[in-house]
Every structure is written in C-alpha cells, then in structure tokens.
C-alpha cells in the first residue's frame, strides 16, 4: 500500500462530547478526508447527526467532508448538507425513487456526487449511473452501526466496480466502508479501492494514537 490510498476516518467512532477536538486531532494526524455518517433511524436503525452539526464542524478543518446520507427520502436534505459544508454527498439508490435525478441535484448544488451500495445491492445498480458519479462507496457491513465485521463477499463487488470505473476512463473514487482494519485494508486495496473509511481502527487508543493508526491502515 502507498500514501495514494486515502484514509477517511468515520466520526461515528469519535468522542461525540468533543467532536471539534476530534476533527482537529485526526486532521493533524494525517487523514485525507473526514467521513460523516448521517443516519435517520428510518433508512437505517440508528440516529446520528444532522446538517447543523456538519456546519458546526466545518470551521475545524479544511479537509474534505465526505458526507454519507443514510436517510430516506433523501432529496429534501441535499441542499441543507451542501450549505453546511459537505464536499462529497453520497446517497443510496434505495433512498429515493429517482437516483439519477438525485445525483444531478447534488451536482447542481456544486458538490461531488457519490452512490452507495449496501452489501445486498449489486454492482449492476451502477450501469446507468456510473457516468454521472464522482465516487462509488461499497458498504462492507450493513449500514447503521460502527464496529461491525467486514463482509468478505464485498471484495468481489469492489473488483467488479473497479473494472467498470476503469472502462469509463473517468477519475471516479472507489471507497470501502465497514470493518476496515489493518488486516482487511490490504484486501480492499487489492480489490481496487482507493479510499478507506475507518472509524474504530482510526479512533482506537485516543488522539496520541491517531497518526500511528492512520499509517498502519495505509500499510506504512
């Protein structure tokens, strides 16, 4: 692995009592992006944060905010998260009836658009979306909670999507989220991922360990 692999720590595993400090700490520790998991208790069985928290965190770092919307219906909230400071907004095809239109709406807001595939969602879902997106996120756990174990069957999906991306000739990021550790990170990279979301693996041990954790995920 090389430094070209981007590490996007999920703040779902941060200390929510001091999120601003945690954001500054992972920034200083060398993360590339910051992954913001937004859950509504409806599309997924958990509730996290809304656009007001994203807006409050935005002044604490210049790093790219990679905002994963696990909310349904999703379209009504795109503008709020764009205004709050999201740089990339990723949506699930199942979270609204017209995913192509949703992607167009994100881009019209001046943001990069991504599509998220759950473990049970096939790569084929991308057939008529791949030319529109800037990022594909493959969930290697079922969304809703941090700290779950990596679902190895998703490696085949990552490999298939890497081939799809390469065929487009476009610069599309391929991100993997869920159960990423020093053991599973190399597997995801080998399958074709270039961005890794890591919550528990980044935040374990407290701020003094964040830089070492990030380096370990890169294989440095």
With b for 16 or more beta-carbon neighbours within 10 A and e for fewer, the 146-168 pattern comes to bebebbeebbebbebbbebbeee
The answer on whether 100 is annotated among ligand-binding residues is: no
Cβ-Cβ contacts under 8 Å for 2 (sequence gap 6 or more): 218, 219
The answer on whether 147 is annotated among ligand-binding residues is: yes
Packing angle between helix 210-218 and helix 19-28, nearest 10 degrees?
50
Q: Are 136 and 126 in contact (CB under 8 A)?
A: yes
Query: Is 131 labeled as catalytic in the residue annotation?
Result: no
The answer on whether 177 is annotated among ligand-binding residues is: yes
Cβ-Cβ contacts under 8 Å for 209 (sequence gap 6 or more): none
127: how many CB neighbours lie within 10 A of its CB?
10
The answer on whether 145 is annotated among ligand-binding residues is: yes
Which of these is catalytic: 66, 75, 177, 194? 177
Q: How much is the CA Rg of the chain, to the nearest whole Å?
A: 16
The answer on whether 65 is annotated among ligand-binding residues is: no
How far apart (Å, rounded) are the C-alpha atoms in residues 157 and 180? Answer: 16
Query: Is 75 labeled as catalytic in the residue annotation?
Result: no
Residue found by looking up tokens 């969602």 in the block:
121
The answer on whether 146 is annotated among ligand-binding residues is: yes
Which of these is catalytic: 37, 66, 75, 134? 37
The answer on whether 10 is annotated among ligand-binding residues is: yes
DSSP 51: H
The answer on whether 81 is annotated among ligand-binding residues is: no
Numbered residues of the known binding site for a divalent metal cation: 35, 37, 68, 177
Active site residues: 37, 177
Binding site listing: 10, 35, 37, 68, 144-147, 177-179
Indicate the annotated binding residues for substrate: 10, 68, 144-147, 177-179
């Amino acid at each position: 692995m090389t430094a070209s692999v981007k590490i996007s720590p999920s703040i779902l595993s941060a200390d929510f009592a001091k999120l601003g400090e945690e954001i500054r700490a992972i920034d200083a520790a060398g993360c590339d992006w910051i992954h913001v998991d937004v859950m509504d208790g409806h599309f997924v069985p958990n509730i996290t944060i809304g656009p007001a928290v994203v807006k409050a965190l935005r002044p604490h770092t210049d790093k790219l905010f990679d905002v994963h919307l696990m909310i349904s219906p999703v379209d009504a909230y795109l503008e709020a998260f764009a205004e709050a400071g999201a740089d990339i907004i990723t949506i699930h095809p199942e979270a609204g009836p017209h995913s192509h239109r949703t992607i167009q709406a994100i881009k019209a807001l001046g943001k990069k658009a991504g599509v998220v595939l759950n473990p049970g969602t096939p790569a084929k879902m991308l057939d008529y979306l791949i030319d529109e997106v800037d990022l594909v996120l493959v969930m290697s756990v079922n969304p809703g909670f941090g700290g779950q174990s990596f679902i190895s069957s998703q490696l085949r999906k990552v490999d298939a999507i890497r081939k799809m991306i390469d065929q487009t000739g476009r610069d599309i990021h391929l991100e993997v989220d869920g159960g990423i550790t020093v053991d599973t990170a190399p597997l995801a990279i080998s399958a074709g991922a270039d961005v890794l979301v890591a919550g528990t693996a980044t935040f374990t041990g407290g701020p003094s360990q964040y830089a070492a954790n990030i380096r370990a995920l890169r294989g440095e």
